[in-house]
Amino acid sequence: MDTTAPLHPDVAELAGLLGTWRGQGRGEYPTIDSFEYQEEVSFGHVGKPFLTYRQSTIRLDTGLPAHAEIGYLRGVGAGRLELVLAHPTGVAEIAEGTIEHLADPAGGLRLHLHSTQVARTTTAKRVDSLERRIDITGDTLHYDLSMAAVGEPHQHHLSATLHRQA
């Protein structure tokens, strides 16, 4: 999906996300054993007012593919952004939130997104809400994800720290 087209002005302030990121994370939830994972995230663009986003993880204990998700981040102006995401678990996520510029000499960026709609297929597990905080400082990306799912209240589920690949 990447292109030689210039970055669209509506996503210019998201330029710090572009590239491929790798690192490790940890997941927890009351209904499952805690687990650790390797992750790869990529943000790209095609010159239109959105970034492409894809993510996949591998469980450290089994070496097998775990979660993945794929979609788009839309720049909509006034420091706001929208996320449209498909999960292979049968869940589609619409989230909206803010872009904040951190006072960091390396160029810090903080994204905070809350789901506004979580749609799902007949056979998918129930997910009621998702909240994502993503901090970027230079070539380091840290995120936290909280969710309400399978009848549990909204709470912390995932954190990971990733590094931009050269």
Local structure of 132: helix, strand or coil: strand
What distance lies between CA 71 and its chain's CA centroid? 9
Site for its own copies in 82-141 (CB under 8 A): 82, 84-88, 90-94, 96, 116-124
Pairing of strands 140-149, 108-120: unpaired
Q: CA angle 105-96-34, nearest 5°?
A: 80
Local structure of 156: helix, strand or coil: strand
Of 11 and 162, nearer to its own copies (C-beta) is 11
The window from 23-31, 44-52, 101-109, 149-157 that contacts its own copies (CB under 8 A) reads 44-52
CB 161 within 8 A of CB 21: no
- Contact between 4 and its own copies by CB under 8 A: the answer reads no
Local structure of 106: helix, strand or coil: coil
Of 18 and 76, nearer to its own copies (C-beta) is 76
Minimum distance from CB of 47 to its own copies (Å)? 7
Point out which residues bind its own copies (CB under 8 A).
Answer: 1, 3, 46-48, 50, 52, 54, 56, 65, 68, 70-72, 74, 76, 82, 84-88, 90-94, 96, 116-124
